[in-house]
Amino acid sequence: MFSSLKNHPFPVEAFFENSLVLTYAIPKDELKDFIPECLSLDTFDDKWAFLAVAVVKTKNLRPKGFPEFMGNDFILIGYRIFVKYVTSKGKRLRGLYILKSETDKSKMALMGNIFTHYNYSKTDIKIETAKSEMKIKSATSDLNLWVNIDERASLPDHSPFKDWKEARRFAGPLPHTFTYDPAKKQVLIIEGLRENWQPLPVEVKEEYAGFIKKMNFKECVLANAFLVSNIPYEWAKGKTDQWIQQ
């Protein structure tokens, strides 16, 4: 009974004040061992796979249908791999496989680990915004991001994308999040529903994500960076699918 609680048993809604996502391109052969057997990497040019760090400032996060005053405000950090999944009915889905989640509140870490498989831990997160700049720092998470919000920003140096149109395909959020139970060969699918998702390119002035650095990839380049703001968001109730090996 308690294990089933982790399967996102009810829909959740929140308001995203802002969400900053930096996506790193890594050769697919280096990233393939970090995902379960039921998933495949979402690749570009049959070479690059993608790992993103997202920092989301949420407001009034609560079970769907509850009044806003019963919600809570959190900052969330997520480390996610871009993946694909083919359902038992043959439907192809794009989404994310979450490696780790962090939050600035003990309550969110506790509840997140009861109702999800997202591996939450509490950390310190400080977000500063001034004019067109945003700085995000966390000593515990060894995270340091500094971006300039400018729709005229150029792609990061060494990005595998030739332009922002190509990069936009990997800007998120992808529609689904996947968790795998290898004993039962079941995939938990959580659909994200949102409105007015218009990613704005940002210029990255500084970036360091200790979680990613510790993975010691031989090749890892910043592929894109986007910011979205003022987004109503909903996570649907989790659905399980029996994985059929292709």
Domain ranges of the chain: 2-242
**Comparing C-alpha atoms, which of 44, 14, 12, 16 is closest to residue 31?**
44
Residue 116 is predicted with a pLDDT of 87
Residue 1 is predicted with a pLDDT of 45
Hey, what CATH topology would domain 2-242 get? Acetoacetate decarboxylase-like (2.40.400)
pTM greater than 0.95 = no
CB neighbour list of residue 165: distance below 8 Å, 6 or more residues apart: none
Q: How far apart are CA 195 and CA 138, in angstroms?
A: 29
**Comparing C-alpha atoms, which of 189, 183, 179, 193 is closest to residue 91?**
189
The mean pLDDT value for 27-43 works out to 97
Q: Please tell me whether residue 177 adopts helix, strand or coil conformation.
A: strand
Q: How far apart are CA 190 and CA 235, in angstroms?
A: 7
Per-residue pLDDT reduced to its tens digit, 78-104 = 999 999 999 999 999 999 999 999 999
Q: How far apart are CA 8 and CA 120, in angstroms?
A: 14
Residue 130 is predicted with a pLDDT of 87
Q: Please tell me whether residue 114 adopts helix, strand or coil conformation.
A: helix
Residue 3 is predicted with a pLDDT of 65
For the chain, give me the number of helices (H) and strands (E)?
A: 5, 14
- Mean of per-residue pLDDT scores for the chain: 92
Task: Look at phi and psi of residue 30 and say left if phi exceeds 0, alpha if psi is from -120 to 50, else beta.
Answer: alpha
Q: Is residue 172's pLDDT more than 70?
A: no
Structure tokens at 81: 């791999």
Q: How far apart are CA 25 and CA 157, in angstroms?
A: 12
Confidence of residue 2 (pLDDT cuts 50, 70, 90): low
Q: Is residue 55's pLDDT more than 50?
A: yes
